[in-house]
Structure 1
Amino acid sequence: MPRTPRLALALTSTLTAGLALAVAPGTADATPGSGVSAVTLFDYTVGDTPYVLREITIAPGGSTGWHEHPGTLHGVVTKGVLSHFDATCKSDGVYKAGQSVSEGSNYVHIGKNLGSVPMVLDVLYTNPAGQPLAIDEPNPGCDFQ
């Protein structure tokens, strides 16, 4: 086999393995989201603080999956209703269009769309530099996802 195809094959294999590691969940029992899509509207760092504005849409019946954030976030529901549950399996808020929601760091929770229309949430994340926007967590023992 000529040298160039071997090098291309080796690079492709290495990149594929790296991509698989990058997208693999960090927690074996993490609860993935379903029916969720997000678009980044703004991503800018001031000093050591990144500010990321995203529009998150959860389809009817969908959820974010259990997760936490390393920083704080502030959001506004622009369409639909967001049902929010904490790690004790209790509702900690129901947010309708026009209402705001804030979350502190290291707070395990899940957001769900129990309605019949898509829920849209504009969220401003202020996480520590180098940290992900969210960290997947296992279900804390609730009988719903």
Structure 2
Amino acid sequence: MHRSVLLLAACCVAAVAVADVPKPTHAVTLLSTTTSWDGTPYRYPEGTPRVTGMTVEIAPGKQTGWHMHHAPSFGYLLSGELDVQLKDGRVKRMKPGDTIAEVVGTLHNGVNRGRTPAKIVVFYAGVDGQTLTTSPEGPPPM
């Protein structure tokens, strides 16, 4: 009987120890694509690779202005609402948690039609010395 109690106690201690072990890492793919959201295949620029990440915040009722990117980029909307529109009228509507494979070499405009700031984190896969964003209306908006 004494041996059974000791065995049961040892099992309980082992169970508690196992319960305290951190769970394994859990990864969720947010986006995996070979094309931008308009269906255009991505091509990486030539040169020394440089990955750049930034957050962009658009106030309610405001917009980024028409601009284009020169390298593939990926965005993840953290908060707010964002409409990304192309000159041909196509629109990608985004809500928090949505992703976007941004267009390259194509003019587009981000519009916040919501009542709170739209905050998006963007990662660019460009090259050293490359301008990430240009605008036909003047200096780059970002």
List aligned pairs for 1:1-145, cutoff 5 A.
48-88=48-88, 90-138=89-137
TM-score by length of 2: 0.60
SS at match of 1:63: coil
Structure with a larger share of its residues in strand: 1
Between the two proteins, the alignment pairs up a number of residues equal to 91
Question: How many Å apart are 1:91 and its aligned residue?
Answer: 3.6
Letter in 1 for 2:67: H
CA distance in 1, matches of 2:65, 2:51: 23
Aligned-CA RMSD value = 1.4
Question: How many Å apart are 1:137 and its aligned residue?
Answer: 2.2
Question: How many Å apart are 1:60 and its aligned residue?
Answer: 0.3
CA distance in 1, matches of 2:119, 2:98: 12
Letter in 1 for 2:136: E
CA distance in 1, matches of 2:115, 2:90: 19
CA distance in 2, matches of 1:91, 1:97: 20
Moved over 3 A (4+): none
SS at match of 1:127: strand
Contact 1:83 1:91 (8 Å CA) reproduced: no
Q: Identity rate of aligned residues, in percent?
A: 29
Match of 2:4 in 1: none
Q: Which runs of 5+ in 1 are unaligned?
A: 1-46, 139-145
Q: Which runs of 5+ in 2 are unaligned?
A: 1-46, 138-142
CA distance in 1, matches of 2:127, 2:86: 23
CA distance in 2, matches of 1:82, 1:65: 13
CA distance in 2, matches of 1:102, 1:130: 22
TM-score by length of 1: 0.59
